[in-house]
Amino acid sequence: MMKRILSVLILSVVLFGCARVNVPRQTVFLSCQVDSIPYRIPAVAELQDGSVMLLADYRHCFSDIGFGRVDIRGKVLSPDGRSWGEEFTLVEGTGVEGAVDCGYGDPAIVADRESEAVLVSLVCGNTVYWHPTTTRQNPNRISLMRSSDSGKTWSLEEVTEQIYTLFDEAPDGCVQSCFIASGKIFQSRVIKVGTHYRIYAALTARPNGNRVIYSDDFGKTWNVLGDLGQLPVPYGDEPKCEELPDGRVVISSRAMGGRYFNIYTYTDAATGEGSWDEVAPSGKRAKGCISLENACNGEILILPAVRNADKAEVYLALQSVPFGPGRTNVGIYAKELPSDLSAITAKDLAADWNMKYQISDTWSAYSTMIQLRNGDIAFYHEESHNGMDKTYDMIYQELSLETITSGQYSASAR
């Protein structure tokens, strides 16, 4: 028996890296106390050594980025899952009215799978995304932070013009206001053209909804995914990107009552040429990802799995949303993807999400998740016990696929 246990442990290390403890639900950043500066907006990445970095807004202005001073705070969980580092300030806003560095918020993060490089996108400045005075001439500003040593040191660069210029020649007119949606910047598992595997950033933009940009040099330069005249989700709100196993790109966008999905198919992956499918809603009518009486930021994952009933290797899609009503009861929808993945359409992806796992039983809103090297899902979300004032604690936990799917699926080593 002891030899068998040791064999299982060794196999786990070979397949998924260093064995780590099962990290239970815990509060990482605490807002729900009298007169405290609130935290919001979860972002998570697994670093090269297996440690997990969590980021969040620290809102001195008590509101969204653009209304005043906002800092970005972080914590790092050790590779074995047993201890947290000290809370740190990634970047600090000045609070100076009108300044580019007035505030920094809405973090989205990616850690390179082949190096110690880490990239974080941020909204910066003192303009508000949706406000009519925020225009191409007075834009919602964007900064990138880069680290080459797993977050020990960082550089900061404003890239507002670099991003906005990509859309200045669009047939329907330039982008007036945009930002990279918070949570996770997605890195391809299969497409590597430049120095790094390709990364995708999904933009909330007005007018005309979502856009997707990509980079083959880990964020030094960017390109538009698809033709400027073909919009992935013309009416979309905060979006996320993922990837089907054949390299096609999935966008999942926030919508009242659920999500919008679309899929980009390459005709030439090296040049980025291709086209978007027709956008498809996922909600009650499609038996999809229902977010009852709310629209909220969530996260999508597509990952290999083993169907436990017959040990078949399959792919699962996971999507987090507040189940509702309103911004309550955050959880994860799941579905098995069809065996012929090359034939799946946006409409197919949007429909028939037949599994769900509830994580929160109270007021809860934004969420993000990644799959760790050991196969578990690192889940990070906002949760409040103060009702409608939306003062959120930031909650982290690690969940197995067996837990999320009620024992129907396990993590795969593929």
Spatial contact of 335 and 344, defined as CB atoms under 8 Å apart: no
Q: Which residues contact 87 (CB under 8 A, 6 or more apart)?
A: 29, 73, 74, 75
Distance of alpha carbon 147 from alpha carbon 152, whole angstroms: 7
Q: Is 125 left (phi over 0), alpha (psi -120 to 50) or beta?
A: left
pLDDT at 14: 42
pTM of the entire structure?
0.94
pLDDT at 251: 98
pLDDT at 295: 97
Angle at the Cα of 368 (from 365 to 369), degrees rounded to 5? 140
pLDDT at 330: 98
Spatial contact of 334 and 300, defined as CB atoms under 8 Å apart: no
Q: Is 321 exposed, middle or buried (0-12, 13-18, 19+ CB in 10 A)?
A: buried
CA distances from 186 to 39, 181, 307 (A): 24, 11, 25
pLDDT at 388: 52
10-residue mean pLDDT series, the chain (414 residues): 39 52 92 79 98 97 96 98 97 97 98 97 97 96 98 98 97 95 97 96 96 98 96 96 97 98 97 97 97 97 97 97 97 96 96 98 97 97 77 95 98 81
Distance of alpha carbon 208 from alpha carbon 204, whole angstroms: 10
Distance of alpha carbon 171 from alpha carbon 31, whole angstroms: 45
pLDDT at 12: 45
Spatial contact of 390 and 363, defined as CB atoms under 8 Å apart: yes
Distance of alpha carbon 276 from alpha carbon 230, whole angstroms: 7
In tens, the pLDDT along 5-20 reads 334 333 444 444 457 8
CA gyration radius for the chain? 20
Q: Pull the structure tokens for residue 327.
A: 């911004």
404 SS3 class: helix
Q: Is 151 left (phi over 0), alpha (psi -120 to 50) or beta?
A: left
pLDDT at 20: 81
